[in-house]
Copies of this chain bind each other. A is one copy, B any other.
Amino acid sequence: MFDTTITLVGNVLTTPEWRRIPTTGTLVANFKVASTARRYDKESGQWIDGNNLRIRVVAWRRLAEGVASSITVGDPVMVQGRLYTRDWKDEGGNHRVSYEMEASAIGHDLSRGRARFFRTRTGT
């Protein structure tokens, strides 16, 4: 079977946090994104808010560096990645389920502003 890829266009809901994995030094960043669909309402002849989607985004390595240096809360962004379910226990020992995406690409949405981009110099 397959990875389930999604692309989300919305706004950064929380200040990105980042840390290094102690054993490997790998950088990992995470933040929440919210997207609100707009739909045309025939009755009123107007565009109105439709469903809402909020999701936690995790980014690794070079993408985490890009996030840490470029993204702040409120930014309009687009995020592509793999969606998955994470199972965990809360303090009461109850089984809980979260949904997360591991991002493969993140960018500022140029329909809502302009950007100056500085490419990373690499050997690859």
> How many copies are assembled?
4
The answer to whether B118 and A53 touch across the interface, beta carbons within 8 angstroms, is no
| Complex CA–CA separation, A114 to B98 (angstroms) | 29
Chain A count of residues within 8 A CB distance of the other chain:
61
Query: Does A14 count as interface, using CB distance less than 8 angstroms?
Result: no
Partner-B contacts on A (CB < 8 A)? 1-10, 35-38, 40, 42, 45, 50-55, 59, 62-63, 65-67, 69-71, 75-78, 80, 82-85, 97, 99, 102, 104-120
Known: A67-B110, A113-B117, A115-B115. 20 other contacts (CB 8 A): A1-B9, A1-B37, A4-B7, A4-B9, A9-B105, A51-B84, A51-B85, A52-B84, A54-B85, A62-B112, A66-B114, A70-B110, A76-B119, A77-B107, A78-B105, A106-B110, A108-B115, A113-B120, A114-B117, A114-B120
